[in-house]
């Protein structure tokens, strides 16, 4: 199989490429990545049989020939960080909307199978005491420039399926953690702060809840959908991992041998979504997927060990990420 992975030098995409090469020998992988601040060729190392093309998913001259030679396209490329989208939304509109549109047009020309990667944030947020969780039928209600451009990209995919008969599927996943995640994101930021002797930073009171899933479980679900998913369908991916940000910070502190109360509360994020929660029944019952990292504490301990052992990977990102937070009082 010839596979094109957009955004394959980012966090989830790079893990997807590693897993694919390990578990599906014979797959011919091409990565298309703009290598923005969030992408790193080093995340792909010297994996054999992987070709990295540096380019913009919104550039039809780059995208068209790559789609023409692929059997399957998996579309991870995006601007992915909510805090950045509040500082400057324009790259989010460019990559998440124009980039997805450009890819859809190439896939339409060449009749290629597409899997579009998206987020649970398209559904907005839930109250802390609401027993409801997001399902495939929850109405879209995104809050931030990031989540609204992801919502728009999902709607483009749905329209191209209906209007042009594209062979596409969509998945909306909850918050991922694991190796190769940029240090701007919550869990790696706190781990690398502690490795630097700096106290973790919790937005507001830390009551906000996220539904955590290990990146390997997300990527196993993506392959399950490519293999067995119904064309035109959306699948929610989640591992029943709801935790408040405060619980997560306290667990990181404990696992790293610190006092669990040694963190600072800082300025809250504007428009901060309160709670996300995924009901992944469709994926589990129709396609037989189950998460394998059931123990969040063990997965977090592995992730801490990975950052401890891979300072050469994260160190080049750290100062710029912290400078942005310092300017915002976070
Ligand atoms: P990331 O920011 O770590 O990686 C994004 C990658 O896309 C980077 O390598 C970057 O260089 C590349 N990229 C950005 N703009 C590009 C462009 N114009 N052309 C080509 N490449 C470009 O993001 P991530 O966390 O790995 O997220 C990957 C996908 O998964 C995104 O679509 C995101 O919305 C989705 N998602 C993420 C999470 C999460 O918790 N991180 C959860 C659900 C869904
Ligand atoms: O220093 C911090 N302190 C803090 O309390 C940071 C960076 C974050 N937070 C909070 C904000 C969120 O409630 O932690 C939570 C997680 O923050 P992020 O890692 O920025 O993730 P989130 O905004 O939830 O979005 C993530 O999950 C869904 C990804 O970045 C998105 O790409 C994905 O779609």
Nearest to 186 by CA among 93, 80, 95: 80
Residue 126: DSSP 8-state: B
Q: What is the per-residue pLDDT for 300?
A: 98
Q: What is the per-residue pLDDT for 278?
A: 98
pLDDT digits (tens, 9 = 90+) for 235-254: 999 999 999 999 999 999 99
Residue having the nearest C-alpha atom to atom 32 of ligand 2: 80
Decide: 116 in ligand 2 pocket, CB within 6 A: no
Nearest to 180 by CA among 11, 8, 4: 11
Q: Using the Cα atoms of residue 207, residue 210, residue 214 and residue 217 in order, give the sign of their dihedral.
A: positive
Residues 116-135, mean pLDDT to the nearest whole number: 97
Q: Calculate how far, in angstroms, residue 259's C-alpha sits from the geometric centre of ligand 1.
A: 34
| Interatomic CA distance for residues 103 and 136, integer angstroms | 24
Topology of domain 2-177+213-237, per CATH? Rossmann fold (3.40.50)
Q: What is the per-residue pLDDT for 321?
A: 98
Q: Residue 101: pLDDT band by 50, 70, 90 thresholds?
A: very high
| Interatomic CA distance for residues 113 and 54, integer angstroms | 22
Q: How far is CA 65 from CA 4, 23, 107, 110, 158, in A?
A: 11, 27, 11, 10, 23
Cβ contacts of residue 322 below 8 Å, gap of 6+? none
Residues 118-141, mean pLDDT to the nearest whole number: 97
Alpha helices in the chain (DSSP H): 11-23, 60-68, 82-87, 90-92, 100-110, 145-164, 186-195, 215-228, 245-255, 281-287, 296-309, 311-327
pLDDT digits (tens, 9 = 90+) for 67-90: 999 999 999 999 999 999 999 999
pLDDT digits (tens, 9 = 90+) for 171-225: 999 999 999 999 999 999 999 999 999 999 999 999 999 999 999 999 999 999 9
Domain ranges of the chain: 2-177+213-237
**SS3 (DSSP) at 46:** coil
Residues 266-290, mean pLDDT to the nearest whole number: 98
Best mutation site among 81, 186, 194 for ligand 2 pocket (most ligand atoms within 8 Å of CB): 186
Decide: 13 in ligand 1 pocket, CB within 6 A: yes
Q: What is the per-residue pLDDT for 267?
A: 96
**SS3 (DSSP) at 272:** coil
Strands ordered across the beta sheet of 72-75: 50-54, 28-33, 2-6, 72-75, 113-119, 168-173, 234-237
Residues 117 and 79 sit within 8 Å (Cβ to Cβ): no
Q: What is the per-residue pLDDT for 65?
A: 98
Q: Calculate how far, in angstroms, residue 261's C-alpha sits from the geometric centre of ligand 1.
A: 32
Nearest to 85 by CA among 140, 144, 39: 144
Q: What is the per-residue pLDDT for 49?
A: 81
Q: What is the per-residue pLDDT for 46?
A: 79
Residues 150 and 122 sit within 8 Å (Cβ to Cβ): yes
Q: Residue 47: pLDDT band by 50, 70, 90 thresholds?
A: confident
Q: How far is CA 196 from CA 37, 57, 237, in A?
A: 21, 36, 34
Residue having the nearest C-alpha atom to atom 29 of ligand 1: 76
Longest dimension (CA), the chain: 57
Q: Calculate how far, in angstroms, residue 324's C-alpha sits from the geometric centre of ligand 1.
A: 19
Residues 118 and 75 sit within 8 Å (Cβ to Cβ): no
| Interatomic CA distance for residues 139 and 313, integer angstroms | 39
Q: Residue 48: pLDDT band by 50, 70, 90 thresholds?
A: confident
CA dihedral 167, 173, 178, 184 (to 10 degrees): 110
- Complex ipTM > 0.90: yes
Decide: 154 in ligand 2 pocket, CB within 6 A: no
Across the chain, mean pLDDT equals: 98
């Amino acid at each position: 199989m010839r596979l094109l992975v957009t955004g394959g030098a980012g966090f989830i995409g790079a893990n997807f490429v590693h897993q694919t090469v390990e578990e599906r020998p014979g797959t011919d992988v091409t990565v298309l990545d703009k290598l923005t601040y969030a992408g790193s060729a080093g995340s792909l190392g010297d994996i054999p049989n992987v070709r990295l093309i540096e380019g913009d998913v919104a550039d039809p001259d780059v995208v068209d020939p790559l789609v023409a030679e692929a059997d399957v396209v998996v579309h991870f490329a995006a601007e992915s960080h909510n805090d950045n989208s509040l500082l400057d939304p324009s790259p989010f509109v460019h990559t998440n909307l124009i980039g997805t549109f450009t890819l859809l047009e190439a896939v339409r020309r060449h009749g290629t199978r597409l899997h579009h990667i998206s987020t649970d944030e398209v559904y907005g947020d839930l109250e802390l005491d609401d027993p409801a969780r997001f399902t495939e039928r929850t109405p879209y209600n995104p809050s931030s420039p990031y989540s609204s451009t992801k919502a728009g990209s999902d709607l483009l995919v749905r329209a191209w399926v209906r209007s042009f008969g594209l062979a596409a599927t969509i998945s909306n996943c909850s918050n991922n953690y694991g190796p190769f995640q940029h240090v701007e994101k919550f869990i790696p930021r706190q781990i690398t702060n502690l490795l630097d002797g700096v106290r973790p930073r919790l937005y507001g009171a830390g009551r906000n809840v996220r539904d955590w899933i290990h990146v390997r479980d997300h990527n196993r679900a993506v392959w399950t959908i490519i293999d067995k998913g119904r064309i035109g369908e959306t699948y929610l991916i989640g591992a029943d991992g709801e935790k408040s940000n405060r619980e997560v910070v306290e667990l990181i502190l404990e696992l790293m041998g610190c006092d669990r109360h040694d963190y600072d509360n800082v300025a809250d994020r504007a428009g901060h979504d309160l709670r996300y929660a995924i009901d992944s029944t469709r994926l589990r019952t129709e396609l037989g997927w189950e998460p394998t990292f059931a123990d969040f504490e063990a997965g977090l301990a592995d992730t801490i060990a990975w950052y401890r052992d891979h300072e050469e990977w994260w160190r080049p990102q750290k100062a710029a990420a912290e400078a942005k937070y310092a300017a915002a009082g976070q």
